Structure 1
Amino acid sequence: MRITSQPYNRLKEALFYNRATTKYILLLMVFISAVLLIGSVFQDEKAESIFPVLSTRKVNPVFDAFYNCVYPKIIGQKDNYDRFWLLYVHLTEECDNLPEYKTFDLQPIANTDEIKYVSFPKQKEENITMVTLGIGHDVDAELRLKKMWPGTEFFGVDPSPEINKDLYEVKLGGNYFQVAVSGQGGMQKSYIFRKKYRDETTMHIGADYFFGNMLKRPRVDILWVDTEGNEFPVLDMIHRGGPLDRRGVKICQMNVEIHKDLLKDVTGEKQKFHDFVWKIMEDRKYIIVKPFYVYWFHDFIRVVVLNVEDPECTSLYMR
Structure 2
Amino acid sequence: MITSMPYNRLREAILHKRKLSKHILVAMVLISSMLLLINIMQDSNEEGDDVPVEGTPTFKAFYNCVYPKLASLRGNYEMFWTSFVNLTKECDGLEEYKALDIQPVANTDEVKYVAFPKRDENITMVTLGIGHDVDAEMRLKKLWPKTEFFGVDPSPEINKDLYEVKLGGNYFQIAVSGKGGMQKSYIFRKEYRDEATMHIGADYFFGDMLQKPRVDILWMDTEGNEFPVLDMIHRGGPLDQRGVTICQMNIEIHKDLMKDITGEREKFHDFVWKLLADKKYIMVKPFYVYWFHQFIRTVIINVADPECTNLYMN
State the TM bucket, normalised to the shorter chain. Answer: 0.7 to 0.9
- Give the alignment's TM-score, normalised by structure 2: 0.84
After TM superposition, the structure 1 = structure 2 runs for residues 1-319 of structure 1, keeping only pairs within 5 Å, are 53=48, 57-123=53-119, 125-319=120-314
1:94 Cα deviation after fit: 1.2
* Deviation string, structure 1 residues 185-207 (Cα, Å, up to 9, x no partner): 00000001000000000000000
* Deviation string, structure 1 residues 146-180 (Cα, Å, up to 9, x no partner): 00000000000000000000000000000000000
State the 4+ residue runs in structure 1 displaced beyond 2 angstroms.
51-58
* Distance in 2 of aligned mates of 1:208 and 1:56: 27
SS in 2 for 1:280: helix
* Deviation string, structure 1 residues 270-290 (Cα, Å, up to 9, x no partner): 001101110111111000000
* Distance in 2 of aligned mates of 1:56 and 1:67: 8
Q: Counterpart of 1:160 in structure 2: which amino acid?
A: S
- The number of equivalent residue pairs is 275
CA gap of 1:58–1:294, structure 2 versus 1, over 3 A, is same
- Give the alignment's TM-score, normalised by structure 1: 0.83
1:83 Cα deviation after fit: 0.7
* Deviation string, structure 1 residues 42-72 (Cα, Å, up to 9, x no partner): x99xx79xx6956574311011110001000
1:99 Cα deviation after fit: 1.0
* Distance in 1 of aligned mates of 2:180 and 2:53: 35
* Distance in 2 of aligned mates of 1:80 and 1:87: 11
SS in 1 for 2:196: strand
* Deviation string, structure 1 residues 245-270 (Cα, Å, up to 9, x no partner): 00000000000000011110110000
* Deviation string, structure 1 residues 93-147 (Cα, Å, up to 9, x no partner): 2111111111100000000000000011110x20000000000000000000000
Is 2:54–2:279's contact at 8 Å kept on the other side of the alignment?
no
* Distance in 2 of aligned mates of 1:240 and 1:163: 36
CA gap of 1:56–1:165, structure 2 versus 1, over 3 A, is closer
Among the aligned pairs, what percent are the same residue? Answer: 74
Q: Which moved more, 1:255-264 or 1:57-66?
A: 57-66
Q: Counterpart of 2:264 in structure 1: which amino acid?
A: E
Q: Which moved more, 1:165-174 or 1:96-105?
A: 96-105
1:240 Cα deviation after fit: 0.6
Is 2:52–2:60's contact at 8 Å kept on the other side of the alignment?
no
CA gap of 1:142–1:286, structure 2 versus 1, over 3 A, is same
CA gap of 1:159–1:56, structure 2 versus 1, over 3 A, is closer
SS in 1 for 2:190: coil
